[in-house]
Amino acid sequence: MTKQILALGASNSKNSINKTFAKHTGEFLLNQFPEYQLKVLDLNDFEMPIYSIDRENENGVPDKANRFLASILESDGIILSLAEHNGAYTAAFKNIYDWASRIEKDVWQNKPMLLLSTSPGPRGATFVLDLAQRTYQFSNKNQILRFSLPSFNNNFSKTEGIKDAVLLEAFEKQVQLFNAAL
């Protein structure tokens, strides 16, 4: 049976390193398991007004929130690479998540998740990675794995992938565990 993997970079930047990393991870998984299918989402396709209860009461939930949830529901597993802005989620991602959670409290539909983060700096966006894991484990009882890639520009190449051998080994282990959870 073909499994659908959803990959998503939690940034609305057109040149998002987190989208690049999420897509790379999905393709890495597909190279090992060609029976899988990969769907890469772009947050820009789900841009909505800033969430407020007043907007929801006046206009309901935007259709884009339903489409976002439908993509999650159709998947068997989620690869989510989180960009960090001021130690937390990007505003674009948080807004989509807020709207989607008004439809379904468990936005991630209890799917296995591989949480990723990367940044140009040496911490690799670990603050937001920690936040996401703590938050999502309350509603998602499935396996949530994680990997942070520090210093993206030094440790990643679009042609080679992860260049550091130690980081690559840790990454491959998390991908294998994610595959086992699928």
* Complete domains list, the chain, with CATH: 4-181 (3.40.50.360)
pLDDT surpassing 90 at residue 19? yes
Q: Which residue has the higher pLDDT, 122 or 142?
A: 122
- Asked if residues 143 and 179 have their Cβ atoms less than 8 Å apart, the reply is no
Tokens found for residue 77: 């597993």
pTM for the whole structure: 0.96
Residue 60: partners with Cβ closer than 8 Å, 6 or more residues away: none
178 and 142 in contact (C-beta within 8 Å)?
no
Does the pLDDT value for residue 141 go beyond 80?
Answer: no
The model's confidence at residue 138, banded by pLDDT at 50, 70 and 90, is confident
Q: Is 75 left (phi over 0), alpha (psi -120 to 50) or beta?
A: beta
**Looking at residue 16, what is its pLDDT?**
96
Mean pLDDT of the 58-80 span = 97
- In this structure, the chain runs to a length of 182
Give the Cβ contact number of residue 124 at 10 Å. 22
pLDDT digits (tens, 9 = 90+) for 168-177: 999 999 999 9
CB 110 within 8 A of CB 140: yes
